[in-house]
């Protein structure tokens, strides 16, 4: 269940088509999750990577499933997965009883419930892994092309942390960069933005949500608004690195902003903000479908 290999185009096409056919009565969400990796060599020994572990994508996927969606979970290989995400550190929960030498497991609260949920929803969940930035860009395009006929029933939730910079293929050294050459200077190019093409050409009728991550609160709303102007999609969810698990802000094409912040009570009850995000999106998505269908 948790080991995956990178799929080739025909395998993606077959898997996505089968998945959509099997779930033809459901709303479908494509969720991107985790960080992209950028290689520094063709025979890559070193990489540029980022912080994202894929919490947002994995938790949101659980709530999309709970809300009746079938989910294509397009994730960084080895990042967190729905349901298993809380149980990654199995070794820390195992102790050997000194008296009889038996292994005792503690601290697995919720494990049975998570396994039950996974079993309930597994037919509505398709895992597709990526690792490097170029795989992410190419495979997302392939997945979206297959899902395009779903029209407004398709929701695309772009939570992955995608690198803005990379080294162009023609500028990548073939072999491992040698330290004997002294200090290393890197020239990184801007990653071409794929969202505009996705929104206007590949899935023009889908409901598309992107995330905007910043560390400086004073620019978050302006950057989110300009993403909406540039790409023409439906919602940007802005978040600040240090507070992203407690608050986010929905920004709409009208320029209107709608903050969501967890209350102390919700935090004390161990609720996660993705539940609130997905509940709100479901309402917006249903409204979007009925407007599109009435045209
Ligand atoms: O993976 P995670 O849960 O630690 O972080 C989620 C996030 C901050 C990567 C996501 O909410 C987000 O903002 N993604 C888009 C990042 C960006 O490219 O601006």
The answer, yes or no, to whether residue 240 has pLDDT greater than 90, is: yes
State residue 107's pLDDT score: 79
CA of 25 to the centre of ligand 1 (A): 30
The answer, yes or no, to whether residue 1 has pLDDT greater than 50, is: no
Ligand 1 neighbour 162 (Cβ under 6 A): yes
Ligand 1 neighbour 249 (Cβ under 6 A): no
Average pLDDT on 216-230 reads: 97
Cα 202 to Cα 200: distance, rounded to the nearest angstrom: 6
Average pLDDT on 271-291 reads: 98
Atom of ligand 1 nearest to the CA of 80: 1
Beta strand pairing call for 207-214 and 235-240: parallel
* Range name among 1-10, 68-77, 192-201, 212-221 with the lowest pLDDT average: 1-10
Cα 237 to Cα 232: distance, rounded to the nearest angstrom: 14
State residue 2's pLDDT score: 44
Ligand 1 neighbour 56 (Cβ under 6 A): yes
Cα 99 to Cα 84: distance, rounded to the nearest angstrom: 31
Which of the listed residues 31, 52, 61, 238 should we mutate to test ligand 1's pocket, taking the one with most ligand atoms within 8 A of CB?
Answer: 52
Which of the listed residues 75, 162, 211, 227 should we mutate to test ligand 1's pocket, taking the one with most ligand atoms within 8 A of CB?
Answer: 211
State residue 36's pLDDT score: 98
Average pLDDT on 190-213 reads: 96
The answer, yes or no, to whether residue 75 has pLDDT greater than 50, is: yes
Cα 47 to Cα 164: distance, rounded to the nearest angstrom: 14
* Range name among 105-114, 200-209, 229-238, 261-270 with the lowest pLDDT average: 105-114
pLDDT tens track for 99-131: 999 998 887 889 999 999 999 999 999 999 999
Ligand 1 neighbour 161 (Cβ under 6 A): yes
The answer, yes or no, to whether residue 92 has pLDDT greater than 90, is: no
CA separation, residue 287 to residues 135, 207, 284, 290 (Å)? 33, 11, 5, 5
State residue 6's pLDDT score: 80
Mean pLDDT in the chain?
95
Confidence of residue 289 (pLDDT cuts 50, 70, 90): very high
Average pLDDT on 82-99 reads: 90
State residue 4's pLDDT score: 59
Of 24, 270, 56, nearest to 147 by C-alpha is 24
Cα 100 to Cα 56: distance, rounded to the nearest angstrom: 42
Given a contact cutoff of 8 angstroms between Cβ atoms, the answer to whether 66 and 196 are in contact is no
Confidence of residue 187 (pLDDT cuts 50, 70, 90): very high
Extended strands (E) in the chain: 28-33, 38-39, 47-48, 70-76, 94-96, 103-105, 125-130, 154-158, 165-166, 189-190, 207-214, 235-240, 247-251, 257-261
CA of 14 to the centre of ligand 1 (A): 29
Residue nearest to atom 4 of ligand 1 (CA): 52
CA of 150 to the centre of ligand 1 (A): 26
User: What is the predicted ipTM?
Assistant: 0.98
State residue 105's pLDDT score: 85
Confidence of residue 168 (pLDDT cuts 50, 70, 90): very high
Ligand 1 neighbour 211 (Cβ under 6 A): yes
State residue 109's pLDDT score: 86
- The string over 69-80, giving b where at least 16 C-beta atoms fall within 10 Å of a residue's C-beta and e elsewhere, is bbbbbbbbbebb
CA of 144 to the centre of ligand 1 (A): 20
State residue 197's pLDDT score: 94
Cα 261 to Cα 245: distance, rounded to the nearest angstrom: 9
Beta strand pairing call for 165-166 and 189-190: antiparallel
Ligand 1 neighbour 70 (Cβ under 6 A): no
Ligand 1 neighbour 53 (Cβ under 6 A): yes
Ligand 1 neighbour 55 (Cβ under 6 A): yes
């Amino acid at each position: 269940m948790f080991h995956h290999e990178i799929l080739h185009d025909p395998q993606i096409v077959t898997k996505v088509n089968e998945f959509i056919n099997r779930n033809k009565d459901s709303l479908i969400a494509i969720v991107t999750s985790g960080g992209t990796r950028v290689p520094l060599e063709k025979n890559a020994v070193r990489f540029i990577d980022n912080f994202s572990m894929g919490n947002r994508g994995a938790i949101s996927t659980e709530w999309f499933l709970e809300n009746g969606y079938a989910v294509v979970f397009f994730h960084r290989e080895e990042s967190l997965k729905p349901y298993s995400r809380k149980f990654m550190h199995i070794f820390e929960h195992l102790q050997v009883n000194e008296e009889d030498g038996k292994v005792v497991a503690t601290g697995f609260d919720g494990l049975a419930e998570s396994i039950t949920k996974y079993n309930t929803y597994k037919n509505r969940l398709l895992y597709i892994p990526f690792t490097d930035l170029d795989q992410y860009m190419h495979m997302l395009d392939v997945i979206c092309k297959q899902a395009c006929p779903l029209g407004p029933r398709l929701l695309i939730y772009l939570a992955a942390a995608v690198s803005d910079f990379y080294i162009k293929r023609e500028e990548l050294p073939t072999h491992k960069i040698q330290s004997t050459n002294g200090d290393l200077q890197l020239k990184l190019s801007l990653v071409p933005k794929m969202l505009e093409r996705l929104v206007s050409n590949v899935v023009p009728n889908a409901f598309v949500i992107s995330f905007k991550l910043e560390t400086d609160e004073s620019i978050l709303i302006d950057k989110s608004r300009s993403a909406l102007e540039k790409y023409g999609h439906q919602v940007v969810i802005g978040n600040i690195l240090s507070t992203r698990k407690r608050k986010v802000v929905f920004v709409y094409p009208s320029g209107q902003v709608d903050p969501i912040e967890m209350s102390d009570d919700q935090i004390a009850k161990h609720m996660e903000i993705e539940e609130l995000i997905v509940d709100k999106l479901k309402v917006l998505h249903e409204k979007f479908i009925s407007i599109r269908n009435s045209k």
